[in-house]
Structure 1
Amino acid sequence: MEVQLQKDFLIKLSHAKMPFGKYKDRYLIDLPEYYIVWYHTKGFPKGTLGQQLQTVYELKVNGLEYLVRNIREL
């Protein structure tokens, strides 16, 4: 079941957009790296958005953001 939860999380992440601020309505995976790093140093928000931004950070650090972009195109 855990694999299904991870799959669902990545599918939702691939369609998630920034709900506020300068980058409002931009896909989270397409946010500039410096912005994600800023959140990493400042602290991610609580809840789902924070989990999604933290995942985006890990994906970008490891050069794997293409995986989420590929999911969005399916």
Structure 2
Amino acid sequence: MEWDSTLAGHASSWSSRCQMGHSQDGNYGENIYYNTMNPQDANFHMKNAVQSWFDEHKQFRYPNSCGGACGHYTQ
């Protein structure tokens, strides 16, 4: 893994808009998850976020196709 200044600029630009949702530029993967929670439950909810992204593997067909929603998994 290495730092990508172009990607960092894209992320900064999109996040400064404070819009919930994926950007319209389909060139970058964006793992988005939101939930309401009590602060004491934060670890539980973070595990749910990662699990929900991983569960998309069921839609992925090797070597490289998606039969449904699997954009978070393939990132």
Q: TM-score, normalised by structure 2?
A: 0.27
Find the structure with the greater CA-based Rg.
Answer: 2
Which protein has greater RCO, CA pairs closer than 8 Å, 6+ apart?
Answer: 1
- Larger helix fraction of residues: 1
- TM-score, normalisation: structure 1: 0.27
